[in-house]
């Protein structure tokens, strides 16, 4: 180590080794010897410092990038969080609004429920009164139908519905009312039935035939002429054939046939009839039209009187219609005779049937209500 630290001086001659060993080393040379490795160490140290600085700088840059990325991610997360928070806040507001609406509806439903319960209590308390009022109204309507229109079937249906309504309540307090209603039902069933619909239908058929009924003033040929002529032609064909007859017989037969045909035509030109009212033969077409319309009007009035059970008006209108048929229409015609028979059948119906008043049922209901 001393040899490396103190190299021999090249200027000292080899012949004087002892002097060199005895002489002390020079000061500047030693310093130079000692200072030679310092630049290398400084350079190495500087290099190490540079590497350390570069490494630190790179680490700092990496840390900065990581921090920037982390900050960006944090900002993105914060933005997403803020958006979610806003959405949650909006949803919470909507839910609060909906909850408010539901609460208001719930309160309304509760109010309605309370009102319905109160109404049900009132109805349960007054159920008997309601049932009796309904039965009384039905009985009044049935009584009016009987008195005004004679609608027995409608009154029966009304009474049966009233009895069924009281039967559903199943209360012994209504036994007297049901007993009175049952008596009225039996009384209505025992009444004689009048076929008003059938009688009205017959009147309608007669009204529809008025325009086709033959009148005395109608100008028509005598109907039996054509049948008589056919019978005579058939009788004239029975003798011997014309080729077996002589000339005189054939001329005589021809003259007879011609004279008979001429006589039949003359019979159609002149008609002789015996009429009690000659003015019926002198009616003009306009007057004939008004006669038919008058007959229709009488029959329609009779139909209205039938439906309203007005016995006097019904028979008066039917009598007037029969008189018109006898006076102005040809009673020998089959259509006129059919119309007269239909009117006689209609007139034979008895409309004077006294209808009950259903007073027992009404009195039973009113007495029960008066006791309450």
Nearest to 213 by CA among 357, 351, 321: 321
Q: Measure the CA–CA gap between 115 and 259, rounded to whole angstroms.
A: 106
pLDDT in tens, 209-247: 998 888 877 755 444 444 444 555 554 444 445 556 677
**What is the CATH T-level fold of the domain 127-191+355-371, as seen in this structure?**
1.20.120
Cα angle at 279 between 277 and 280, to 5 degrees? 75
Mean pLDDT for the stretch of residues 133-157 = 78
Boundaries of every domain in the chain: 88-124, 127-191+355-371, 195-219+278-354
CB-CB contact of 121 with 350 (8 Å): no
- CA-CA-CA-CA torsion sign (279, 284, 287, 291): positive
Phi and psi (nearest 5°) for 329?
-110, 155
300, with CB counted inside 10 A (0-12, 13-18, 19+), is middle
CB-CB contact of 285 with 218 (8 Å): no
The DSSP symbol for 55 reads: H
CB-CB contact of 162 with 135 (8 Å): yes
Mean pLDDT for the stretch of residues 341-351 = 82
Cα pseudo-dihedral 102, 108, 111, 113, rounded to 10? -70
Which pTM was predicted? Answer: 0.42
> How much is the pLDDT for 299?
92
Cα pseudo-dihedral 88, 94, 100, 106, rounded to 10? -100
| CA separation, residue 148 to residues 15, 155, 305, 309, 350 (Å) | 181, 12, 12, 8, 17
CB-CB contact of 222 with 267 (8 Å): yes
Query: HSE on the CB side for 164, CA within 13 Å?
Result: 7
> How much is the pLDDT for 353?
61
Mean pLDDT for the stretch of residues 74-89 = 88
Mean pLDDT for the stretch of residues 173-186 = 82
Confidence of residue 37 (pLDDT cuts 50, 70, 90): low
Cα–chain-centroid distance for residue 284?
56
Mean pLDDT over each residue of the chain, to the nearest integer: 76
Buried b (16+ CB within 10 A) or exposed e, 95-134: eeeeeeeeeeeeeeeeeeeeeeeeeeeeeeeeebeebbee
CB-CB contact of 322 with 340 (8 Å): yes
């Amino acid at each position: 180590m001393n040899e490396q630290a103190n190299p021999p001086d090249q200027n000292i001659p080899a012949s004087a080794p002892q002097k060199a060993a005895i002489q002390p080393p020079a000061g500047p040379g030693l310093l130079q010897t000692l200072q030679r490795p310092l630049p290398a160490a400084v350079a190495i140290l500087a290099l190490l410092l540079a590497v350390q600085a570069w490494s630190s700088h790179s680490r700092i840059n990496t840390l900065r990038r990581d921090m920037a990325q982390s900050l960006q991610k944090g900002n993105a997360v914060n933005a997403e969080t803020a958006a979610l928070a806003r959405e949650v806040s909006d949803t919470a507001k909507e839910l609060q609004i909906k909850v408010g609406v539901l609460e208001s509806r719930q309160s309304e439903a509760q109010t309605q429920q309370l009102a319905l319960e109160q109404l049900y209590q009132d109805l349960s308390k007054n159920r008997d009164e309601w049932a009796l009022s309904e039965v009384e109204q039905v009985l009044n309507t049935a009584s009016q139908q009987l008195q005004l229109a004679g609608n027995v079937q409608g009154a029966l249906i009304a009474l049966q519905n009233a009895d069924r309504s009281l039967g559903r309540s199943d209360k012994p307090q209504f036994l007297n009312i049901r007993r009175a209603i049952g008596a009225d039902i039996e009384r209505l069933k025992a009444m004689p039935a009048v076929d008003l619909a059938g009688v009205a239908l017959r009147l309608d058929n007669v009204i529809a035939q008025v325009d086709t009924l033959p009148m005395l003033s109608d100008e028509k040929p005598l109907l039996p002429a054509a049948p008589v002529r056919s019978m005579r032609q058939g009788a004239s064909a029975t003798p011997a054939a014309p080729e077996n007859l002589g000339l005189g017989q054939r001329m005589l037969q021809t003259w007879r046939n011609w004279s008979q045909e001429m006589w039949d035509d003359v019979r159609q030109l002149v008609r002789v009839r015996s009429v009690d009212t000659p003015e019926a033969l002198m009616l003009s077409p306009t007057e004939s039209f008004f006669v038919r319309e008058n007959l229709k009007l009488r029959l329609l009035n009779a139909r209205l009187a039938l439906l309203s059970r007005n016995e006097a008006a019904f028979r008066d209108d039917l009598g007037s219609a029969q008189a018109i048929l006898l006076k102005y229409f040809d009673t020998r015609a089959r259509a006129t005779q059919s119309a007269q028979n239909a009117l006689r059948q209609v007139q034979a119906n008895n409309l004077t049937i006294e209808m009950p008043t259903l007073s027992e049922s009404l009195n039973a209901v009113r007495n029960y209500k008066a006791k309450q």
